Chains A and B, each alone.
Chain A
Amino acid sequence: MFSVILHVSFALFFSPLLLGVVAKTKAFFAGRWGPPLLQPWYDIVKLFRKGSVYSTTTTWVFKLTPVAVLATALLSCIFIPLGTLAPPVYFWGDALFFVYLYGLMRFFLIIGAWDTGSSFEGMGASREAAFSCLSEIILFMDLILLVMVSKSLVLCNMLNTSFFSSWASMGPVLILVVISFFLVLLVENARIPIDDPNTHLELTMVHEVMVLDHSGFDLGLILWGSAVKFFVLGSILISLFIPRHESFMAGMVFFMVGMALLALTVGVVESIMARLRLNSVPHLLTGGFVLALLGFIVILLKGM
């Protein structure tokens, strides 16, 4: 029980910081100072002190969404190692469970959006559903590759530090995994070039528009949930890079530096390119899938 609490609080505490690093990086490229690193934290605290406003057309479904989002995000985090913190819960096949947790989160976001009856939210929901179809395939394909490399269907075995040694033998495949997984990370967290988290234009939004009607405390939950999701997906990616290490602290330092670098990379990607046209997003995602598929073929040819 204690390890679960530790795991969850670790994710809860550090996830908003990650967004702070992204914002700082983007500000640097724009020649500004940018908001303080802790700004996402301030935002969440501010929102938690506010009341929520509910449209009269919404039902309990709408109110359930924010809770469901944060709950699924936190649930997903206890299956993966966070640096040296081993996952407190694991079972055979938890990798599949993990993916469908995000399916569940999306399900609640989408029906919550529908519940408002707003045309914007309906459009956002349809876009989210369409893109996630494609990103889910990539995510699965990546997990299949990791399963084949690590020969285990348990997330904590796939992502533990002994995995690092596979780079020597499986380097090319893992590079493909990393690239396609990075794409999944961008899609799932609504980052440029797929979505623009900063835009105020409802007609172009994907993720943002689905939570447009949430306010106050509820919005705080959703923001926090999204931050945790970013953190969790990011830590999967970083886990692949953590070398074997002796002390608890060394592993943690590797992890934290890795996460900061990831946030930095996301910030750089967002700064050096414009957002894609919405109807070319599927092309990009298909490309990501092809990369993952290529890795699959390589593994098959290598005879595991």
Chain B
Amino acid sequence: MSFEKFYVHNGQSWPLEQVPVMDEASFRREILKSCETGGRLVNLFGYHAQDKNLYLCAVIGMDQEGKLSVFAARMPGGQVHFESLTPVLPQAHLFEREIAEQFGIIIQGHPWLKPVRSHQDYSFYEIRSEETHEVAVGPVHAGIIEPGHFRFQCHGEEILNLEIQLGWQHRGVEKMMAEISLERAMLVAESIAGDTVIGHGTAFCNIIEALSDTEVPLQAEMIRIIALELERLANHVGDMGALSTDIGFLPVSAYFGRLRGEFLNLSMELCGSRFGRSLCRPGGVLFSLGPEMIEDFRRRLLKAQKDFMEIAELFFSTSSVLSRLESTGRISRQTAEELGLVGPAARSCDLERDVRTDYAFGMFRFQHIPVSTVVSGDVYARALIRRLEAQRSIEFLLEALDQIPSGELLKKPSALKPSHMALSLVEGWRGEIAHVAITDAQSRLMRYKVKDPSFNNWIALSLAVRGAQISDFPLCNKSFNLSYAGHDL
């Protein structure tokens, strides 16, 4: 059986019945075929339709062509088996584990069907040997960070295996989204990951706007991406500071820390929250920049740009820093591709993946931001990609400040369309944020699927440190700086 491909755009909604529905075997074949021809698994999730049947839905992104295809499979009633894609398509591993956990499906042939977020009846992978030792770190950590458990199997200082156990931050976001009012859902979306407020907030807004056919005023679109880039800047600069803290390079860590504050303060002045809360609302934004503020922003951005260049230059020209970063925690391009990494983690492995250009959303449809890539895939590359992206973001912001359109800020969205599906991808600072929503016949949200970039990238951390020194783990971890809350939902 062959199906006509159903292509959708980022930030678009479509009637649910348009999604091609196939049987389980062709669904599997279709995914594999798409992924062989340059596709990438953007999302794979299950939902209960109103006919009480369970469906699996795949979103495949053809990054090079900028096309997104959507298709689904109806799981026959009573059947709880699905043949695993993971042995042939490693990037499906966590999606399948999630489906197994959420819907009780048995994924046959999955090499590692461990629960994603619950910890019941699970024993860690271990090596029984006199020569190796086990180190357990967390879930409570020394710094002020989120809870996660890391189990190392080491031979002396060398890490043989790292198993990451997450789920302590599970709040039931996806289920909550479908049960609460849209006003509250907006607040929940902003809280999916505390450092990606604008990213997840914009993704949620795009979904609601797509489902209600709301045309967002251009000024609002512009403010959104200005806030998005400010968020990226604050986090990238903060990460570079954190990297220098971890290697004990004090001056740079202090200066980057201060600089991060500058960008957070700009968000603060834009919307009253350093982390961008209550800026994005379905239909637009709540705040804008007046002419005086624009001037002030420009002045401060120019100052920050100058400081950033100087400090980054110091950081990247100190030989003791480079010797610490280079060839630590390397991920090959092939591994990155197989794991389906996204965001800076992928771009530091020479993979050109950026939602801002591949599936341009909002104002990025008119304003392009060049994609940066680095080849080496190590901690150095992940530091360098942050520097390059931060530089590009500042330049972009300076340009964007000139071009803020006038007009409305907020257009109240109308009611949601019944039995529709919508997809929204946003390039948050960590990478591709994917939200998918399905409404029922009564126009209520029936299923809301969130995928934070951390969901794709956590596995990369455990592979990056394999064979590395255990004392380098904190550095590798910081170089990815993934979200626990975003993964645990």
* Min CB–CB distance B124 → chain A (angstroms): 14
A274 in contact with B248 given A202-B142, A203-B137, A280-B323 (CB within 8 Å): yes
Chain A residues with CB under 8 A of B328: 277
Q: Which of B45-67 contact A (CB under 8 A)?
A: none
Is B215 at the interface (CB under 8 A from chain A)? Answer: no
Chain A residues with CB under 8 A of B136: 119
Is A29 at the interface (CB under 8 A from chain B)? Answer: yes
A273 to B135, CA, bound (A): 29
Chain A residues with CB under 8 A of B247: 274-275
Residue from A31, A270, A274 within 8 A of B324 (CB atoms): A274
Whether the Cβ atoms of B251 and A199 lie closer than 8 Å is: no
Q: Which of A274-303 contact B (CB under 8 A)?
A: 274-280
Whether the Cβ atoms of B255 and A31 lie closer than 8 Å is: yes
Is A265 at the interface (CB under 8 A from chain B)? Answer: no
Is B155 at the interface (CB under 8 A from chain A)? Answer: no
Q: Which of A6-42 contact B (CB under 8 A)?
A: 26, 29-32
Whether the Cβ atoms of B137 and A270 lie closer than 8 Å is: no
Whether the Cβ atoms of B248 and A196 lie closer than 8 Å is: yes
Is A140 at the interface (CB under 8 A from chain B)? Answer: no
A32 to B469, CA, bound (A): 33
A203 in contact with B251 given A193-B320, A275-B324 (CB within 8 Å): no
Whether the Cβ atoms of B254 and A30 lie closer than 8 Å is: yes
A271 in contact with B134 given A201-B142, A204-B474 (CB within 8 Å): no
A197 to B471, CA, bound (A): 15
Chain B residues with CB under 8 A of A90: none
Whether the Cβ atoms of B470 and A203 lie closer than 8 Å is: yes
Q: Which of A71-117 contact B (CB under 8 A)?
A: none
Chain B residues with CB under 8 A of A70: none
A137 to B473, CA, bound (A): 30
A277 in contact with B248 given A32-B254, A119-B135 (CB within 8 Å): no
A280 to B320, CA, bound (A): 11
* Min CB–CB distance A187 → chain B (angstroms): 15
Whether the Cβ atoms of B248 and A199 lie closer than 8 Å is: yes
* Min CB–CB distance A34 → chain B (angstroms): 11
Contact pattern, B 251-280, Cβ under 8 Å of A = 1, otherwise 0: 101110010000000000000000000000
Is A123 at the interface (CB under 8 A from chain B)? Answer: yes
Whether the Cβ atoms of A203 and B250 lie closer than 8 Å is: no
A278 in contact with B246 given A119-B134, A123-B135, A200-B143 (CB within 8 Å): no
* Min CB–CB distance B262 → chain A (angstroms): 14
* Min CB–CB distance A186 → chain B (angstroms): 12
Chain B residues with CB under 8 A of A196: 248
Chain A residues with CB under 8 A of B472: 204, 277-278
Most chain A CB within 10 A, of B244, B321, B324, is at B324
Is B129 at the interface (CB under 8 A from chain A)? Answer: no
Chain B residues with CB under 8 A of A234: none
A119 to B151, CA, bound (A): 11
Whether the Cβ atoms of B470 and A123 lie closer than 8 Å is: yes
Residue from A30, A123, A127, A275 within 8 A of B251 (CB atoms): A30
A274 in contact with B473 given A30-B253, A200-B142 (CB within 8 Å): no
A199 in contact with B246 given A31-B255, A119-B135, A120-B135 (CB within 8 Å): yes
How many cross-chain pairs have Cβ atoms below 8 Å apart between A and B? 89
Q: Which of A198-222 contact B (CB under 8 A)?
A: 198-204
Whether the Cβ atoms of A29 and B251 lie closer than 8 Å is: yes
* Min CB–CB distance B225 → chain A (angstroms): 32
Is A184 at the interface (CB under 8 A from chain B)? Answer: no
A204 to B477, CA, bound (A): 13
A270 in contact with B250 given A204-B471, A278-B157 (CB within 8 Å): yes
* Min CB–CB distance A129 → chain B (angstroms): 12
Whether the Cβ atoms of A274 and B135 lie closer than 8 Å is: no
Whether the Cβ atoms of B137 and A202 lie closer than 8 Å is: yes
Chain B residues with CB under 8 A of A270: 248, 250
Q: Which of B223-263 contact A (CB under 8 A)?
A: 244, 246-251, 253-255, 258
Whether the Cβ atoms of A31 and B249 lie closer than 8 Å is: no
Whether the Cβ atoms of B248 and A275 lie closer than 8 Å is: yes
Is A266 at the interface (CB under 8 A from chain B)? Answer: no
Whether the Cβ atoms of B323 and A277 lie closer than 8 Å is: yes
* Min CB–CB distance A219 → chain B (angstroms): 15
Whether the Cβ atoms of B254 and A278 lie closer than 8 Å is: no
A198 in contact with B248 given A277-B324, A277-B472, A280-B323 (CB within 8 Å): yes
A198 to B134, CA, bound (A): 25
Closest to B158 in A: A279
Is A192 at the interface (CB under 8 A from chain B)? Answer: yes
Is B298 at the interface (CB under 8 A from chain A)? Answer: no
Chain A residues with CB under 8 A of B157: 123, 127, 278-279
* Min CB–CB distance A297 → chain B (angstroms): 29
A200 to B255, CA, bound (A): 19
Closest to B327 in A: A277
Residue from A198, A204, A274 within 8 A of B320 (CB atoms): A274
Whether the Cβ atoms of A273 and B320 lie closer than 8 Å is: yes
Chain A residues with CB under 8 A of B133: 119, 122
Residue from A26, A127, A274, A278 within 8 A of B318 (CB atoms): A274
* Min CB–CB distance B241 → chain A (angstroms): 11
Whether the Cβ atoms of A31 and B251 lie closer than 8 Å is: yes
Closest to B249 in A: A274
Residue from A31, A123, A192 within 8 A of B248 (CB atoms): A192
Known: A123-B157, A201-B474. 9 other contacts (CB 8 A): A32-B254, A119-B135, A126-B156, A204-B246, A272-B251, A273-B320, A275-B247, A275-B248, A277-B471
What are some 26 contacts across the A-B interface (CB < 8 A)?
A: A29-B250, A30-B250, A119-B134, A119-B135, A119-B136, A123-B135, A123-B470, A126-B156, A196-B248, A198-B250, A202-B137, A203-B137, A203-B471, A203-B474, A204-B472, A204-B474, A270-B250, A273-B249, A275-B247, A276-B324, A277-B323, A277-B471, A278-B157, A278-B471, A279-B157, A280-B323
User: Which residues of A are at the interface with B, using a C-beta cutoff of 8 A?
Assistant: 26, 29-32, 119-120, 122-123, 126-127, 192-193, 196, 198-204, 270-280
Which 5 pairs across A and B sit closest by C-beta, in order of nearness? A30-B254, A275-B248, A274-B249, A196-B248, A274-B247
